[in-house]
Amino acid sequence: MNTRQSYNKNRNSFHRRAKMNAQGPAGSNGPLAGSLYPLSAPNAEGVPSRMASTTSTWDSPYEECRRNKRKMLRSPGGDRRPPSPSMNEEDLPKFLADLIMKMIPGPKGKEWSDAYRQADDLPPITKKSLGELDIQIILFNITLRHDINFDRELSFRPNNDGKSGQRKRKCSEQYWQALVAELELYVLLFQGAPLRIPQHADRSVVLQHAQRRIPKMFEMIHEILKSLVPDRDHGRVDEHLDVQMLMQEIERGVCDMVKLAEWTASLLKEHCAPMRDVWVDEMVDVMRQGAEGNNELIVSSLNKLLGILESMKLVSGLLSM
């Protein structure tokens, strides 16, 4: 049955129903008998009148469609459309990397954008990598023990020779560039004009994904410091390097990186050789310069801090032998 035939059949059915209603039930007479609206009680003159009604005895498909639409508009939250799916998290690195390129045009922006997408999430110096310098590892390395006992000119340095060393240097440089890019991204996300989030993207997910390396950097510094200082100082480390609190301060633009660097310097000077005080003071000075608005210097200061921690870990391992 085609559409026109269906329409004609419904139309004829409607007319038959209207005719039956007009005739009224068996034994009824008068123009109001069998009306689509029920009758009210007779008025003062004894003449019945139509009862006001807000709903008819039947609804057309069009009326049913309108009623369903009104129900949808009254859905919780007042959203007229079903919730849009959230942005695929696999697309977020590219979206954030594109933001970096827009903020920093030119070759540097392209370089930082690529580093942000490709660099490791963890810094080159971690608690795991420094674990190779633990006394238990050294004691079981017979060759290293022999060299320490009989070679007075023995010195230790990072192995940056050969292809493996070149790869390590490249990964390290890329990581620090990515860290600078992330700090620049924070300025836009937390302190700049409201960010225009793409369609189907959840702003909270975007902000959370942007905090990719800085929290891990703080966590790593926290862990390494606790492995270097006595147990009595662990409470101080936990208090000043509360990663969750630091990230909240960064989001609100109230994180005092200089104060954090000065406290770290004070703690390091209590437990490292005086010969490293120069390195520690230099780390704080660079942080002071970076706090004036140069994220590259802030990252350089963090780089120096991890270098100092690595040196302290190396010495503590040798002194324990």
pLDDT tens for residues 121-170?
A: 999 888 776 765 555 555 666 776 667 677 766 666 666 667 777 888 88
Q: Which long-range contacts (CB under 8 A, 24 or more apart) does 295-298 make?
A: 295/180, 295/183, 295/184, 295/187, 296/180, 298/183, 298/257
pLDDT mean across residues, the chain: 74
CB 89, CB 209: distance < 8 Å: yes
Residue 11 pLDDT: 47
Q: Cα 72 to the chain's mean position, in Å?
A: 32
Q: How confident is the model at residue 92 (pLDDT cuts 50, 70, 90)?
A: confident
- For 321, the token pair is 């032998």
Q: Which whole number is the average pLDDT over 265-269?
A: 95
pLDDT tens for residues 193-221?
A: 666 666 566 778 888 889 999 999 999 99
Q: Is 227 exposed, middle or buried (0-12, 13-18, 19+ CB in 10 A)?
A: middle
Residue 202 pLDDT: 74
pLDDT tens for residues 9-32?
A: 444 554 454 445 445 544 444 433
Q: In sequence order, which residues have a C-beta less than 8 Å from that of residue 188 and are 6 or more positions away?
A: 99, 103, 195
pTM: predicted TM-score of the whole model, two decimal places: 0.65
Q: Is residue 280 scored above 90 in pLDDT?
A: yes
Q: Cα 98 to the chain's mean position, in Å?
A: 16
Q: Which long-range contacts (CB under 8 A, 24 or more apart) does 244-250 make?
A: 246/218, 247/211, 247/214, 247/215, 247/218, 250/186, 250/190, 250/214
Q: What sections of the chain are H helices per DSSP?
A: 3-23, 61-73, 92-103, 107-118, 127-130, 135-139, 142-150, 162-186, 203-210, 214-228, 234-240, 243-252, 257-271, 277-290, 295-319
Mean pLDDT is lowest, of 58-62, 129-133, 189-193, for 58-62
Q: Cα(224)–Cα(271) distance, rounded to whole angstroms?
A: 13
- For 80, the token pair is 């007229």
Q: Cα 266 to the chain's mean position, in Å?
A: 33
CB 62, CB 165: distance < 8 Å: no
Q: Which residues pair with 50 in a beta bridge?
A: 39
Identify which has the larger pLDDT, 157 or 48. Answer: 157
Q: Is residue 270 scored above 50 in pLDDT?
A: yes
Identify which has the larger pLDDT, 232 or 34. Answer: 232
Task: Give residue 220's identity as a one-letter amino acid code.
Answer: M
Q: Which whole number is the average pLDDT over 217-240?
A: 94
